[in-house]
Structure 1
């Protein structure tokens, strides 16, 4: 009689990981919509588009654009031994800065993003 509860418990333990390993329907896609690099941080997709004359940061929450009207971002651009600080301001549906930036393959960028009503978020990007 004591053998039956042991078998039942063993069966439950063996079946549990099977359900956990099943493929889940994840409709949240982390792909580039603007040709940039996408990083997920705290349920937000941050897409950084970095060109020598403009840097843009597109923010999405589960695939939907986030209102950045009262937002901002401080960006640190690390290119080789050079370091550049850039402030991104709202420009339509994105945060943006225009100027002259040393960006290209191997450039690393660190963004601290502040959005209205949310705690600030830090993201790291590596350009390839």
Structure 2
């Protein structure tokens, strides 16, 4: 019983942590996705045809993603999927493989920019 309670508490804590950044700073989706803010930067996660794209902006200005690397971790219930994020031109990073994003999924984009600055953006897919 105690083990089940700890799992429930961990789930509640993760849900609160993941949902806390959505629409921070009044950012609104520009590409039909969900928005998260981390390190004063805005990230929009867009799911189209199973592929995920992350748009990166700093105070409304596009951030060049050339030379960046990243990983998108998607949690669907107890299923965990990890896919690589690669620069896709301009201010975008995209997956080549199916990201398995679905309504209710939680996702974390771990991005390291060319200047070695690392950022984690958390998303709750609606």
Task: Say yes or no: TM over 0.5.
Answer: yes
> Distance between the aligned counterparts of 2:77 and 2:49, measured in 1?
15
| Deviation digits for residues 12-58 of structure 1 (CA, Å, limit 9, x no counterpart) | xxxxxxxxxxxxxxxx7511111111111111101111235210010
Q: CA RMSD in A?
A: 1.5
User: Which structure's CA Rg is the greater one?
Assistant: 1
| Deviation digits for residues 65-121 of structure 1 (CA, Å, limit 9, x no counterpart) | 101011121111111221111110011121001232321111000111111225201
Residue of structure 2 equivalent to 1:20: none
CA contact under 8 A between 1:107 and 1:126: conserved in structure 2? yes
For structure 1, the residue ranges without an aligned partner over 5 or more in a row are: 1-27
Residue of structure 1 equivalent to 2:29: 32
SS in 1 for 2:32: coil
Aligned equivalent of 1:114, options 91, 109, 112: 112
SS in 2 for 1:58: strand
SS in 2 for 1:31: coil
**TM-score normalised to the size of structure 2?**
0.73
Q: With a CA cutoff of 8 Å and minimum separation of 6, indicate the structure with the bigger relative contact order.
A: 2
SS in 1 for 2:95: strand
CA contact under 8 A between 1:39 and 1:47: conserved in structure 2? yes
For structure 2, the residue ranges without an aligned partner over 5 or more in a row are: 1-24
**TM-score normalised to the size of structure 1?**
0.72
Residue of structure 1 equivalent to 2:61: 64
Residue of structure 2 equivalent to 1:84: 81
> Distance between the aligned counterparts of 2:113 and 2:86, measured in 1?
11
